[in-house]
C-alpha cells in the first residue's frame, strides 16, 4: 500500500495511515479526511503503461492507487471499467466534436456508488469488521448491500421511506437489514451514524468514511485512461484528461472523488492538465451551488426537494470539498429544473441508447444548459458522468416518456393506430 498519510480537509493535520477510522477528531463529523499517497514511490513501482496493459476490467486494475493492503478482501462482484462512449450523434446536435458519456449505470447494482462500496467493503474486511452500515437515498445502500452480499458481510441500511421501490427491492433481495426512515435522507444519515456508534457497526456513510472518496476517484482514473487508449492499440504511456467533466451533485462526494482521482494523476505526472469540473444540481436541491455562487466556504442547509431522489440533499455531507473541486479547477456550478431533467432522459436514451435515472440525466441537462449559454467550445473534450440506471426509478421514466398505446389483437387495429398517428 502506498498511502503516506490521512489529512484533515479542514485543519490540514496529518495522521498515519489507518490511525483514524473516520474523521479528524478536532472537527467532529465535518473533519473529512483525504487519503494522501507517496506519489514518488508509486512512480518507482508502476507506470501508466503497466496499468493500461492490465486485463483486469474492474476498479482493481488501480490496486496500487487504492488504500488497501490485502487482495483477499476484495468483494468478487465486478465493479467499474464502465464504457466511455464517444457520443457522435448527440455531440453533432450540440456542436461538440468530442462529447463522451460514461455509463456508470452499467455497474453491478447499477450506479456509481458501487465504486465506493466495493472499496469500503474491502476495507471492512481488512479491519475485521463484522457488520457494515450506511445511510442512503437508495443507491449507496443498494451498492453496499450488493458488495456486502458479495463478501458475505451482514449489512444494515437506512433509507428515507420515500426511496424509489426498485432501490428498496435491491436492498431486500441482497439480504440487507433495511430501515425505512420516516424522514429525509439527512435524518437517515444522522440516525445511521448514531446507530453505528451505539452498536459498533462499521459505517460507510458518504464522506464520513474516508474510503468512499477513494472508491469514487476510480471513475476519473478510468476516464483519463480510456480517453488515452481510445485511439491506440498498444498500452499508452501517458493518460489524457478531458477539458471538462459534468457531474451531478447531491452530497458532493462523487465530484470530490473525481477531483481526488485527477489530483492523484496530476501529482503522479500521468496527466498534464486538470479538467474543469462542472457541478450540476437540481434547482430544488442546490446547497452547493448556493455556496459556490456566494463565494462561501460554509454550506448553508436548505429544505431540498427534487424528482432526482439521488441528489435530493438538504445538507450535503461533502459539500465543502465539492465547492473546492469546482473552484480549484475553474469549473462552474449549474442548476437544472425537474422539467429539464425529465427532458434530458429521452434525449440520452434516443440519442445514444443510455437509460439514465433522473439524478444521472441531470448532468446531461447541465451540459445542455452550458451549451445554450455558449460556455463550451466546439473543440473541447467533454465528458458527462451518467451515474445511475433508469430502471431504478421507472415512475420518472414513464413521466418522461409517456404511456404506451393499448390495441385490440388485430391487424386492423394496428392499421388504424398507424394512420391516426
Ligand X SMILES: *Cc1c(COP(=O)(O)O)cnc(C)c1O
Residues engaged in binding ligand X (CB under 6 A): 111-113, 139, 248-254, 310-311, 357, 359-360, 387-388
Residue nearest to ligand X (CB): 388
When asked if residue 27 is in the footprint of Zn ion (CB under 5 A), the reply is yes
Nearest distance from C-beta of residue 78 to ligand X, angstroms: 19
Number of residues that bind Zn ion (CB under 5 A): 8
* Cβ proximity to ligand X, 77 vs 360, nearer residue: 360
For 302, half-sphere exposure in the C-beta direction (CA atoms, 13 angstrom radius) is 22
Cα separation, 179 vs 226, whole angstroms: 39
**Degrees (nearest 5) of the Cα angle 236, 75, 63?**
30
Q: Where are the alpha helices (DSSP H) in 157-210?
A: 165-173, 185-199
Q: Among 19, 26, 296, 413, which residue interacts with Zn ion (rule: CB under 5 A)? A: 26
CA-based nearest residue to 219, from 383, 1, 43, 6: 383
Q: Among 10, 191, 394, 401, which residue interacts with Zn ion (rule: CB under 5 A)? A: 10
* Cβ proximity to Zn ion, 12 vs 128, nearer residue: 12
* Cβ proximity to Zn ion, 115 vs 324, nearer residue: 324
DSSP string, 257-323: HHHHHHHHHHHHTSSSSPPEEEEEEEGGG-HHHHHHHHT-SSPPP-----S-GGG--SS-TTHHHHH
Contact stretch for Zn ion (CB under 5 A) within 13-21, 85-93, 267-275, 412-420: 13-21
Cα separation, 5 vs 265, whole angstroms: 17
- Residue 401 site contact among Zn ion, ligand X, none (CB < 5 to 8 Å, cut-off depends on kind): none
**Partners of 386 in the β-ladder:** 103
Q: Among 24, 124, 356, 363, which residue interacts with Zn ion (rule: CB under 5 A)? A: 24
- Residue 10 site contact among ligand X, Zn ion, none (CB < 5 to 8 Å, cut-off depends on kind): Zn ion
Edge-to-edge strand order for the sheet containing 98-103?
84-86, 98-103, 381-386, 244-248, 276-282, 332-336
Cα separation, 107 vs 104, whole angstroms: 6
When asked if residue 33 is in the footprint of Zn ion (CB under 5 A), the reply is no
Query: C-alpha cell of 219?
Result: 471513475
Contact stretch for Zn ion (CB under 5 A) within 17-25, 106-114, 297-305, 394-402: 17-25
- Residue 280 site contact among ligand X, Zn ion, none (CB < 5 to 8 Å, cut-off depends on kind): none
Nearest distance from C-beta of residue 312 to ligand X, angstroms: 10
Query: C-alpha cell of 100?
Result: 463522451
Nearest distance from C-beta of residue 27 to Zn ion, angstroms: 4
When asked if residue 8 is in the footprint of Zn ion (CB under 5 A), the reply is yes
Amino acid at each position: 500500500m502506498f498511502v503516506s498519510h490521512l489529512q484533515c480537509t479542514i485543519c490540514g493535520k496529518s495522521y498515519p495511515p489507518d490511525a483514524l477510522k473516520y474523521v479528524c477528531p478536532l472537527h467532529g463529523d465535518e473533519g473529512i479526511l483525504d487519503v494522501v499517497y507517496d506519489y514518488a514511490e508509486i512512480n518507482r513501482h508502476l507506470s501508466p503503461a503497466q496499468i493500461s496493459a492490465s486485463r483486469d476490467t474492474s476498479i482493481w486494475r488501480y490496486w496500487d492507487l487504492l488504500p488497501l493492503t490485502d487482495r483477499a478482501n476484495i468483494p468478487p462482484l465486478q465493479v467499474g471499467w464502465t464504457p466511455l462512449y464517444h457520443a457522435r450523434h448527440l455531440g453533432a446536435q450540440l456542436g461538440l466534436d468530442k462529447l463522451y458519456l460514461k455509463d456508470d449505470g452499467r455497474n453491478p447494482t447499477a450506479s456509481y456508488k458501487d465504486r465506493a462500496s466495493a472499496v469500503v467493503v474491502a476495507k471492512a474486511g481488512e479491519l475485521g469488521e463484522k457488520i457494515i452500515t450506511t445511510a442512503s437515498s437508495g443507491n449507496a445502500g443498494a451498492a453496499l448491500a450488493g458488495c456486502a452480499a458479495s463478501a458475505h458481510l451482514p449489512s444494515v441500511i437506512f433509507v428515507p421511506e420515500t426511496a424509489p421501490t426498485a432501490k428498496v427491492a435491491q436492498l431486500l433481495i441482497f439480504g440487507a437489514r433495511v430501515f425505512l426512515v420516516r424522514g429525509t435522507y439527512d435524518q437517515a444519515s444522522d440516525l445511521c451514524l448514531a446507530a453505528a456508534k451505539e452498536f459498533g457497526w462499521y459505517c460507510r456513510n458518504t464522506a464520513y468514511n474516508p474510503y468512499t472518496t477513494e472508491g469514487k476517484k476510480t471513475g476519473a482514473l478510468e476516464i483519463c485512461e480510456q480517453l488515452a487508449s481510445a485511439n491506440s492499440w498498444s498500452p499508452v504511456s501517458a493518460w489524457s484528461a478531458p477539458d471538462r467533466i459534468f457531474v451531478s451533485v447531491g452530497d458532493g462526494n462523487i465530484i470530490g472523488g473525481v477531483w481526488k482521482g485527477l489530483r492523484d494523476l496530476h501529482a503522479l505526472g500521468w496527466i498534464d492538465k486538470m479538467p474543469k469540473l462542472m457541478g450540476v444540481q437540481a434547482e430544488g436541491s442546490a446547497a452547493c451551488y448556493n455556496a459556490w455562487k456566494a463565494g462561501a466556504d460554509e454550506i448553508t442547509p436548505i429544505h431540498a426537494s427534487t424528482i432526482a431522489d439521488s441528489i435530493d440533499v438538504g445538507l450535503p455531507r461533502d459539500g465543502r470539498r465539492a465547492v473546492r473541486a469546482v473552484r480549484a479547477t475553474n469549473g462552474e456550478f449549474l442548476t437544472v429544473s425537474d422539467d429539464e431533467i425529465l427532458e434530458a432522459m429521452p434525449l440520452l436514451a434516443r440519442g445514444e441508447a443510455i437509460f439514465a435515472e433522473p439524478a444521472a440525466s441531470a448532468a446531461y441537462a447541465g451540459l445542455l444548459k452550458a451549451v445554450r449559454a455558449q460556455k463550451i467550445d466546439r473543440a473541447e473534450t467533454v465528458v458527462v458522468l451518467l451515474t445511475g440506471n433508469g430502471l431504478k426509478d421507472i415512475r420518472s421514466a414513464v413521466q418522461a416518456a409517456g404511456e404506451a398505446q393499448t390495441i385490440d389483437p388485430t391487424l386492423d387495429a394496428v392499421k388504424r393506430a398507424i394512420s391516426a398517428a
